[in-house]
Amino acid sequence: MDLFSEIEEPEREELRALRKELEEQNYKYYVLNQPTMSDQEFDRKMHRLQDLEAMFPDMYDASSPTQHVGSDLAVTGYGLRVTGKGFEQVKHRYPMLSLANSYSREEIEDWVQKLPLNAEIVCELKYDGLSISLWYEHGVLMKALTRGDGQQGDNVIDNIKTIPSIPWRIERNDIPEWFELRGEVLLPWANFERLNKEREEQEEPLFANPRNAASGTLKLQDPREVARRGLEAYLYYMLGENLPGSTHFERLDTARQWGFHISDAIKVCKNVDEVMAYIAYWDTERKNLPVATDGIVLKVNNLTQQEELGYTAKTPRWAIAYKFPAEKQLTLLKEITYQVGRTGVVTPVANLEPVQLSGTMVQRATLHNEDFIRQLDIRPGDRVWVEKGGEIIPKITGRENREISHSCAILAPLSDYTFPTTCPECGATLVRVEGEAAWRCPNEAGCPPQIKGKIEHFVSRKAMNIDGLGEETIDLFYQKGLLKNIADIYDLKAEDIATQERLGEKSAQNILDGIEASKQVPWSRVLFALGIRMVGETTAKKIARKYNTIDALQWATAEQLCTIEDVGPQIAENIVKYFEDIRNLEILERLRQAGVQMEGEAEAAPTSDKLAGLSIVISGTFAQHSRDEYKAMIEANGGKNVGSVSKKTSFILAGENMGPEKRKKAEDLGIKMITEEEFLEML
């Protein structure tokens, strides 16, 4: 090997390593929804790979990450593409490419210099969700494709139809025979917080950000669950033949007139100064939006100029994205403490020197599990980088170089780190199930946080709904020896309650009334209330449809349980183990003796999809059926009952004496109100 070959070899190795690393990151981002690299770091490495490939043209590879977009299609261990969990795969009529990213005014200026002189630029918000392509034929929505690998995507039309703002049919005479609209599917902040709160209560892994949640939701097999989560969509590009308008802005305005959800935050700019003013405004104002954004998209307005500029292998030359920098701060990790959850999961928590992020003071952040801590190599005494994931959830993303941070005398000495081997609450030896990241305390019957957590879950609104038994009261009753498990609730006496601190006869009666009312809670909610690991509210309903008595469920095998929709091997095993524990059987018998519903009518699955994806509010009084009967009709036809009016409401079933506040809000939001007769005609 000559001298020049020896010099080149390390750079060739770097090229190979970068290709492998970036392909892995694409898989984590698009398929697993678990990115481990920031966008800016990814782009930096991609640019380095492009430079190396230019340096060594003999190493050209069509499968390099520089030559294709990332894919949300599933991939086998052998690199073969497979269908996404049963979804039909369809070839895109026009490839769905990604956008090149920029991070500074200089990079935007470089892009503008390559455009035709005085080209108009349309500025739009860059929504942080999942790309979607909607195909309309003769005004009817026929397909809804994910980006996939850019050449073909998964047809998720049944799930897309649950999004109220996406029309299924357009009744107009001025639309082409076929056209395509592209956009972004998102999970609004409010729905993201609600979903994560539900998952936290079930001790399921939290979604890191709304994009991950939206991506996971759109690939679910149950459109009813998709509808319950509440996705939204913003559309931003129209394709097809013989389309109206000669500019991108005109076409978006046309799409808005046709009834599509187009953002109002779109502006035509004449120069870079106007573009930067738009960026500066939305860098602050985006924090008030109901959905997540991570930047600005710039597009050449004139469609003829777009066509002339064309495309690279993976990006259009007529568009570019500007990415907002993540807000992060450097602060001291003072100590790591541990929380024990209802199912025994031990979660490490970072206790930080207070630091302000996105307008709030952050002092604590989850560290997830032992593997996460070791991956970042952080310990008490380090100075760590803290970001707000999706600007809501504080997260630690790395640490400062220790040679720098610990040269400062004010920092605490760096301590060695080892994950505890015993429960910080009860002292039991922790266990770690093979294949799981979490350590658990196995002492379910003797670990205080687990005992109290199970009781709190049992009495919660979506479970047994027992008023008066909040977290503080449960803790008090536990300390006094009145509550050691959920069955003890039904042994509480008025004198036991009334004599406790901060309580009295009225409080005692309210609690006892709530306990008595809980005996009428239906079997599916009782099953959810038992707190069997990974059996959430929706899963409990599906299990209750199959096994409508506790006795039938007790003797079900794991194989039989796995035939139920959404019940996999792990959930089935958790159910079987629950009924193998004699302590649980004793508690169940006491609940039965107390009068808790341990059986019920098998819940009927929807008989039609006439109301699928619709969120319906019932208000007022009715002549032909009761409110409960109408609620049952809505569920039987695939719809969703909701209690309050919002812009997500599909329509209101309005009876006599409808509440004035609901009527006013509906009128303000433009929500349709239909009569009892109109509703029955729909069905």
- For residue 530, CA distances in Å to 533, 536, 572, 583 come to 9, 10, 15, 13
Q: Buried b vs exposed e over 327-366: b needs ≥16 C-beta within 10 Å?
A: ebeebbbeebebebbbbbbbbbebebbebebeeeebeebb
Count Cβ atoms below 10 Å from residue 518 Cβ, excluding itself: 25
Element (H, E) at 664: helix 660-669
Is residue 526 within 8 Å of residue 587, measured between CB atoms? no
Is residue 334 within 8 Å of residue 352, measured between CB atoms? yes
How far is residue 318's CA from residue 303's CA, in Å, rounded to a whole number?
9
- Give the strand pairing for 152-155 and 121-127: unpaired
- Using alpha carbons only, what angle is made at residue 90 by residues 89 and 94, rounded to the nearest 5 degrees? 140
Which pair of tokens denotes residue 21? 């690393």
- Closest to 633 measured CA to CA, from 604, 660, 662: 604
Catalytic, 126? Answer yes
How far is residue 45's CA from residue 47's CA, in Å, rounded to a whole number?
5
How far is residue 249's CA from residue 238's CA, in Å, rounded to a whole number?
10
In the set 91, 114, 126, 334, the catalytic residue is: 126
How far is residue 466's CA from residue 454's CA, in Å, rounded to a whole number?
14
How far is residue 155's CA from residue 91's CA, in Å, rounded to a whole number?
10
CA 665 to chain centre: 28
CA 71 to chain centre: 19
How far is residue 321's CA from residue 448's CA, in Å, rounded to a whole number?
51
> Quick one: residue 638, left, alpha or beta (phi over 0 = left, psi -120 to 50 = alpha)?
left
How far is residue 24's CA from residue 562's CA, in Å, rounded to a whole number?
32
CB within 8 Å of 456: residues ≥ 6 apart? 342, 471, 474
Count Cβ atoms below 10 Å from residue 395 Cβ, excluding itself: 20
- Closest to 478 measured CA to CA, from 467, 489, 468: 489
How far is residue 197's CA from residue 193's CA, in Å, rounded to a whole number?
6
* Angle in degrees, 0-180, between the axes of helices 448-459 and 471-479, rounded to the nearest 10: 130
CB within 8 Å of 173: residues ≥ 6 apart? none
CA 348 to chain centre: 22
How far is residue 90's CA from residue 111's CA, in Å, rounded to a whole number?
33
How far is residue 473's CA from residue 32's CA, in Å, rounded to a whole number?
41
- Closest to 426 measured CA to CA, from 452, 461, 463: 452
How far is residue 17's CA from residue 461's CA, in Å, rounded to a whole number?
52
Q: DSSP characters for 76-114?
A: -TTS-EE-STTPEEEE-SS------EE-SHHHHHHHHHT
List the catalytic residues: 126
